[in-house]
Amino acid sequence: MPDSQRSDRFRFYGAVFMTDSSIGRRTLLIATGATAAALTVGATAQQTPTVADQAPAAAAAVCTLTKEMTEGPYYLDGQLVRADISEDKTGIPLKLTLTVVDDDTCAPLGNALVEIWHCDALGEYSGFVGGNGHDEPDNGTFLRGGILTGSDGVASITTVYPGWYRGRCVHIHIKVHTDVTLTPDGSFEGGQELHTGQLFFDEAVTTQVALVPVYAANTVPRTTLAQDGIYDDGGAASGLLTLTPLGGSTTAGYAGVLTLGVETS
């Protein structure tokens, strides 16, 4: 499936507006404080209660849905359930905090499996090493895996800052599953896939990361966010992480945060 395939859907006051869709999957949302504040102001100005005013506050929230993204050609089933997927990969530390909520109620979605996979500093995916022109060991598991959310809907995953491969900006692939069964070998199976998408990185941060020797060794020209055929400059609504330095230098790493809302019905 080409990376250019994706669907466009937006939710406003519970209505779903859809444009041309090439992926028949559910859609992710990001609830923003700005829209919540706008609702509060509007409620103050309205003196006479209406039917809409009497609805539960959570149901009345305005949410912006991001586009679902293709899973791309590098997905592998049955990856390990683990909080740290970095294995022995060299790279800048990345601590992800991803909060999954229900799109209708905004309630945290506990016990959901948040699965991610991405390339290493040289742009190579485990199971497909050599696809970006670099030769290195391939165990089929590095930089792949996922973790179950807690009752607060939070999945905390440790990895390394991704590199890049030909034609794509720096990104991480993500899936959200529910009702999975954990297997004796430390993997998972079954369940329902609620979302397939991608996470993106601020271009100014990536520019600094690309100067670090392990990333600079990547011989493939880097595609920027603006040049990418998937990312659409939609900010958090299109999966752009909020990045915070973990220390005083680029090599100290970054914390990446995003709230993901998924349709559960």
| Whole-number pLDDT of residue 65 | 53
| Whole-number pLDDT of residue 192 | 93
Residues 89 and 115 in one domain: yes
| Separation between Cα atoms, residue 219 and residue 229, nearest integer Å | 21
Distance of CA 243 to CAs 28, 66, 160, 186, Å? 20, 19, 13, 30
Per the domain annotation, does 16 fall within a domain? yes
Residues 24 and 143 in one domain: no
Per the domain annotation, does 84 fall within a domain? yes
Residues 54 and 75 in one domain: no
Per the domain annotation, does 1 fall within a domain? no
Question: pLDDT means per 10 residues in the chain (265 residues)?
Answer: 40 34 40 34 36 35 56 93 97 96 86 97 98 95 98 97 97 96 95 93 98 97 96 87 97 95 81
| Separation between Cα atoms, residue 30 and residue 151, nearest integer Å | 19
| Whole-number pLDDT of residue 172 | 98
Name which of 163, 168, 166, 113 is nearest 143 in CA terms.
Answer: 163
Per the domain annotation, does 95 fall within a domain? yes
| Separation between Cα atoms, residue 13 and residue 16, nearest integer Å | 9
Residues 153 and 255 in one domain: yes
Residues 91 and 145 in one domain: yes
Per the domain annotation, does 129 fall within a domain? yes
Q: Count of CB atoms within 10 A of residue 140's CB?
A: 12
Per the domain annotation, does 101 fall within a domain? yes
Residues 56 and 186 in one domain: no
Residue that terminates a domain, selected from 19, 37, 64: 64
| Whole-number pLDDT of residue 66 | 52
Residues 123 and 15 in one domain: no
Per the domain annotation, does 174 fall within a domain? yes
| Separation between Cα atoms, residue 256 and residue 238, nearest integer Å | 15
Per the domain annotation, does 232 fall within a domain? yes
CATH of the domain at 235: 2.60.130.10
Domains of the chain: total: 2
Residues 55 and 77 in one domain: no
Residues 114 and 235 in one domain: yes
Rounded to 5 degrees, φ, ψ at 240 are -75, 120
Residue that terminates a domain, selected from 41, 64, 87: 64
3-state secondary structure the chain: CCCCCEECEEEECCEEEECCCCCCCCCEEECCHHHHHHHHHHHHHCCCCCCCCCCCCCCCCCCEEECEECCCCCCCCCCCECCECCCCCCCCEEEEEEEEEECCCCCECCCCEEEEECCCCCCCCCCCCCCCCCCCCCCCCCCEEEEECCCCCEEEEEEECCCCCCCCCCEEEEEEEECCEECCCCCEECCEEEEEEEEECCHHHHHHHCCCHHHHCCCCCCCCCCCCCCCCCCHHHHCECEEEECCCCHHHCEEEEEEEEECCC
Structural domain boundaries enclosing 140: 71-262
Q: Cα torsion for 256, 32, 18, 112, to the nearest 10°?
A: 50
Residues 27 and 141 in one domain: no
Residue that terminates a domain, selected from 26, 41, 64: 64
Burial of 199 (0-12, 13-18, 19+ CB in 10 A): buried
| Whole-number pLDDT of residue 67 | 58
Residues 208 and 155 in one domain: yes
Do the strands 93-102 and 254-262 form a parallel or antiparallel pair, or are they unpaired? parallel
Residues 194 and 127 in one domain: yes
pTM recorded for the entire structure = 0.78
